[in-house]
Amino acid sequence: MRVTPEAMWVNGRAAEQVSVLDRALHYGDGLFETIGCLEGSPRLFDLHLQRLSEGCGRLGFALHHIEAVRREVPALAFGARRAIVKVLLTRGAAAARAYALTGEEQQMRILLRYSWPQPAASAEGVRVRIAALRLGENPALAGLKHCNRLEQVLARREWSDPSIAEALMFSSSGALISGTMSNVFLVHRSTVLTPSLERCGVAGVMRESVLRLARDAGIDTQVRPVAAEDLEQAQELFLTNALSGIRPVCELSGRRWAVGALTRRLQGLLAPLLSPGATLGGDAHG
Amino acid sequence: MRVTPEAMWVNGRAAEQVSVLDRALHYGDGLFETIGCLEGSPRLFDLHLQRLSEGCGRLGFALHHIEAVRREVPALAFGARRAIVKVLLTRGAAAARAYALTGEEQQMRILLRYSWPQPAASAEGVRVRIAALRLGENPALAGLKHCNRLEQVLARREWSDPSIAEALMFSSSGALISGTMSNVFLVHRSTVLTPSLERCGVAGVMRESVLRLARDAGIDTQVRPVAAEDLEQAQELFLTNALSGIRPVCELSGRRWAVGALTRRLQGLLAPLLSPGATLGGDAHG
C-alpha cells in the first residue's frame, strides 16, 4: 500500500526536494525521529528531542535546529487528531567531494507529516521471526537514530509474509539487540529485561519510557547484554516502538506465548502516557 | 576549499534536486562509484560497473540503470581532459513510511561531474594516522560502496592536520581493514599483502587492479586477515584509491618509511593503466 506524506517542510517552508549534494543522500549523514502526535501534541516529545540532541552532539551537528524542531513539530501536527511527524536532520549539501567537512555545510531540517490510522487491535500479540542478518557493532553510533539503516532495510527484505510483524536481530558477536524497528523486552520471572545498546541498536524513546515506568512501579528491571539462551528462557516477550507502544509477541519462530501478566501490567501503566497531553516525568520521574 | 560539481544529472537530465522522500536520504539506501575520467574515457570502468552491479544484486536493486550508467558517464565526461564522475544509485522515493519496500520504488540515477586537478607530486609518500573509530562488521554489506558511510565520516573528523592524508581503520574485532577512503597494502619481504574484506571495508577497483597486475607480474600476493602485528612488520606500506592510484605511506604514527622497491615497481606497472584509453585485462588478464 502506497503511503505518502500529507505535508513536507524543508527548513520551515513547504518543499518537496533537496539538493542532490546532500550528505545524507551520499553517506546517510543525518539523524531522524518518528513522532506520534495526538490532538496536535507530539507524544514523548522531550525524549525525542533529547535523543536528537545527543545525536547532533555525537555526529558534530550544530544544535540550532533543535529549537526549530520543537516549534515546528506541533505546528505541522496542528489540527490533526492523529498524525505522524518524521523529522530528518541532515548535514546538508556537501561543500567538497569526499568525507571531510569544510565547515561550510548548512544543515537541513526536513519534516514530513503522515496520517496515522488507528491501529488494528493486537491484544493477542504479534508474530515475530529471527533475522538472518546480524547488526555490526560500533559504539560511536550505537543508540542513535542515524540515517545508516541498510542493515534494517536488508533485514526487512528477508520476509514478505504480512502476518509476521517484526524480526529480532542479533549483533555480530551474538547478542540479542532489537527488532528492525522496535526494541525488545523479555520477562524472566518477575524481572523485565532489555538488551543494553552500547555496541549497536537504537535507544528507543518507548523503551526508555517503559523502563522508567517499570522502575517507578517497583518492578525489577535489568539492562544488560542478552544472549540467545536468555531469549529461550523468556516467559514473556514484547516489543516497543514510539508509535505502537507495547506489542506482546505471541509467536517467535514457532514458539508461542499467551500475553503475560507483567506485559499486561506495563501496558496498563503505559496507557495514560500514550494519551493526548500526557508528559513523562523528567529525571525525578516520581 | 569549496568544491562543487560542474554538472549534475538525475536520470539522464540536468537537475539539482531529488525528492525529500528518497530512501538514500533517509536510510543511506544507495550505492556509489567515484570514477576518474581522462580525455572523456572513464578509467577502470568495467571494474566500477562490476562492483555497482554486485551492489545492486546484494541490495535488491534492478540492474536496468547499469546500462544507462555505462552510456552516461563517458557522455558527461566528454570533452574534459580530466574529470571525476560520481555515480549515485538510490532506491528512490519511499513509497511507504518505514524500511519495508512496496515494490513501487523507482530507483534514481544521479551523476555529478567534478573537475579533477592534476595531483601534487607525492613521490616521497603521504603521512597517515590510525583512526580511533573501528569499523562494524557485516558480511552482507562488506565490499560494497554503499551509502552507509557514517563510520568514514566520523573517522575523518578525528583529525584536521592537513599534512595527514589518511587514517587506517581497524574492524571491531581488531583486524586492519583499510583507510577511510582507500585500501591498504603491506609488503612483507617479497609478498604484497592486503586485508580480506569479507566482514567490512570497500573492495576498491584500484585494489583489484593492483592485485591483478602484481599476480600477472609474478609477484607473490596475499589477501587475508591482517593484524596489528602484520602492520608493525611491514617493510613497505601503500594506499590505493580509484583516483590516486598507488600512494606510498612515508609515515604512520611516527614510524617512517622510504618508498620501497616493490611499491615503486607496482607504481611502474600501474602507470600505463592510469593513462587515457587503457583497459585492464578481463578474467584472462594475460
Q: What is the ipTM for the molecules in this complex?
A: 0.95
pLDDT tens for A205-217 read 999 999 999 999 9
Give the whole-number percent of chain A exceeding pLDDT 90: 89
pLDDT tens for A39-55 read 999 999 999 999 999 99
Q: Which of A23, A22, A94, A62 is nearest to B1 (CA)?
A: A94
Return d(Cα B70, Cα A263) in angstroms, integer: 56
What are the cell numbers at A45?
Answer: 516529545
pLDDT at B95: 87
Q: Which of B160, B46, B138, B34 is nearest to B86 (CA)?
A: B34
Q: Is pLDDT of A284 > 50?
A: no
Report how many helices (DSSP H) and strands (DSSP E) chain B contains, helices first. 7, 16
| pTM confidence score | 0.95
Parallel/antiparallel/unpaired status of strands A183-188 and A236-241: antiparallel
pLDDT at B281: 47
pLDDT tens for B92-151 read 999 888 999 999 999 999 999 999 988 766 668 999 999 999 999 999 999 999 999 999
pLDDT tens for B167-199 read 999 999 999 999 999 999 999 999 999 999 999
Q: Is the minimum CB–CB distance between A13 and chain B shorter than 8 Å?
A: no
Q: Is pLDDT of B156 > 90?
A: yes
Q: Is pLDDT of A155 > 50?
A: yes
pLDDT at B36: 97
Location of C-alpha cell 586485508: B195
Return d(Cα A202, Cα A141) in angstroms, integer: 9
pLDDT tens for B206-227 read 999 999 999 999 999 999 999 9
Q: Which of A80-89, B252-261, B274-283 has the lowest mean pLDDT?
A: B274-283
Q: Is the minimum CB–CB distance between A101 and chain B shorter than 8 Å?
A: yes
Contacts of A198 in chain B (CB under 8 A): none
Q: With the CA atoms of B75, B76, B78 and B81 taken in that order, what torsion angle do they form, in degrees rounded to the nearest 10?
A: -150
Return d(Cα B22, Cα A25) in angstroms, integer: 8
Return d(Cα A163, Cα A169) in angstroms, integer: 18
Contact B133, B108 (CB under 8 A): no
Q: What is the mean pLDDT of residues A98-127?
A: 89
Print burial letters for A110-144: b (CB count within 10 Å at least 16), e (below 16): bbbbbebeeeeeeeebbbbbebebbbbbbeebbbb
Q: Is the minimum CB–CB distance between A120 and chain B shorter than 8 Å?
A: no
Distance between A97 CA and the closest CA of chain B, angstroms: 6
pLDDT at B286: 35
Cβ of B153 within 8 Å of Cβ of A23? The answer is yes
